[in-house]
Amino acid sequence: MSRPDTRVVRKLQHVFYTAFDLAVVSAILLLVVLVYVHQYGSTVLDRYPEKQKLPQSSVILASDGTVLRRIPLPESGYRVTARLEEMPELLVETFLAVEDQRFYSHQGLDYPGILRAALHNTVQLSASEGGSSITQQLARNLYLNRDKNMLRKLKEASLALALEKRLPKQEILQLYLNQIYMGHGQYGVKSAAEYYFGITQLKELEIWQIAALAAIPKGPSVYNPEAEGERPKGRRDLVLRMMQQRGLITHAEMAAAMSKEFQPVERARAQRIGDSYMDAALKEASRLTGQPLEELRTGGYTIVTGMNPGAQQALEETFGNPEFFPPDGTTQQVEAAMAIINHNTGDVVALTGGRHPSIGGINRAIIDARQPGSAFKPIIDYGPALESGRFTPESILPDRKERYGDYSPDNLNGIYRGQVNMALALQQSINAPAVWLLKQVGIANARSFAAKLGVTLPPEDNNLSIALGGLHTGVSPLKMAQAYSVFASGGTFHEAHTVRSIADAEGKTLYKYTSAQRQVISQRTAASMTVMLRNVVNNGTGAKARMNVPVAGKTGTTQAGLPGVTGKANRDLWFVGYTPDLTAAVWMGFDRTDKDNSMTAGSGKAAGLFSAVMNKVYASTRR
């Protein structure tokens, strides 16, 4: 063989070996890709099974059915799911016609669609058209981010194939129609139908509305019905033509639908109220169901509360007026909290945990953290004494300086009268008779009485200082209102509750409040206490709580007791009282009392706030 022929052969051999090597490498890479595509999707589905349970917005309702709050999803949107059976067939078929015509014939990947999109994008020198099937879109939205690269496309394909193997077509389609983003923070067709058209029953959708919904997924920000310009209508009309071409609607129906003009739904821009109430209701619902708070927020639950929106609005409006509060401190604002109970039912009709409440903020209305001062006397001193049968409002009690071991309580201003009757001792909030009375009744008996009213004291509160409201951890306004509500209801205990009922996403009732009212103290005790507490308001320390309806109640004050601060400085101001219909507790104070932040105002300020709120509440119920 000549030398030129040898060189040709060698070149051919080199080309052959190179091609062979490339083929082997390509085969290995293809095998790796195939293995990756086969394994990745199954692995991810096994690792994150919770992804297929779509979070949906829970709804909190007032006692009259008013929607108080639709709780946003973690991604700051809203979703209400629907089963396929709840959707009109035309809606489902239209989405299939627009998004994935071969949905029922492919196994997750629409190869003709992918090829068509690739050719289109090659010709246009862009990536303007996608070939993703509904299953691929679902896989991307559930498991992947929005990056556009080859690895993500491989992951998407792998997940789509795995989903098709795991789930029936109908379940994939239902997931997609509930998961898809529809603009303006709405996820799924049901949320979108209500948001854009005010329609809660999907089978009530008209043809043009179905087309408008199916037009959105291609570009939620530009094709949703409320987007500016002609593009939303143009896209909707394109969908209508597709519906007519596929025989889903007639030409006449298409023409009629095209003539429809979208009119935005009027949405009430009501002032947001009840952040503290929502917080209390969710915590109560969690305790009742055993579900964590996050599940209650995103599980599609419907929670009906006992809130009266008018009363809540009245409460928050009054709290927004600074004239009802003591002056602020150097570094803090005086805070306040209030709870109002319907003592005939136990419904908490209004509640706020601060002057400027917020979701996740401190809810002072439900935290057992403040000393109740003399507002505790009816619960721990005078109530137990009346219930014992040994004392009446006319009973004469000693009013002199006494020492009980290491404990020696003082009267305000050091004034002692020698002796007073029980009604006057309560009216003037005299300390010495109250402590003496607790000693006579017995601490154990008094603690048992308080527990019947809903105030269970810890072992540390087993001393005479509780006679004046000196508690180890303190109480909350809600707990104080609960206790006084027993006096207001003639000795009957109705458990204070924010939650009336809880239903899951399927509408199944998980909890319904049933009144377990019980007579826990005698009617005689309750009636005598009411007479004495009305006397406190009419002639005693609670005068600023007076209203145009009878009010019974008691003030409470705890002193700051700080070195270098005037002895007149106070830490807590209380008023707890009731009308014939409602029981309420008001607390005022600083979150941290110190030399720069204390109050010189007295408990009359709390009594005045009680009156202002309750007058407004009564006015709201008369409207």
Given the residues 99, 164, 194, 284, select the one marked as catalytic: 99
Residues 377/429, Cβ–Cβ less than 8 Å: yes
Known catalytic membership, residue 374? yes
CB neighbour burial string for 302-341, b if at least 16 within 10 angstroms, e if fewer: bbbbbbbbbbbbbbbebbeeeebbbeebeebbbbbbbbbb
SS3 call for 583: strand
Give the pair of three-digit tokens for residue 369. 């953290």
Q: What are phi and psi of 293, to 5 degrees?
A: -60, -40
Amino acid at site 334: V
Residues 574/557, Cβ–Cβ less than 8 Å: yes
Given the residues 58, 276, 374, 429, select the one marked as catalytic: 374
Give the pair of three-digit tokens for residue 442. 């017995």
Known catalytic membership, residue 266? no
Alpha-helix runs per DSSP H in 463-522: 477-488
Residue 250 to residue 253: CA distance in whole angstroms: 5
Residue 570 to residue 593: CA distance in whole angstroms: 9
Give the pair of three-digit tokens for residue 265. 């739904």
Residue carrying structure tokens 């809540």 = 312
Ramachandran region, residue 212 (left: φ > 0; alpha: ψ -120 to 50; beta: rest): alpha
Residue 494 to residue 505: CA distance in whole angstroms: 29
Residue 260 to residue 324: CA distance in whole angstroms: 54
Give the pair of three-digit tokens for residue 77. 């949107």
Which are the catalytic amino acids? 99, 374
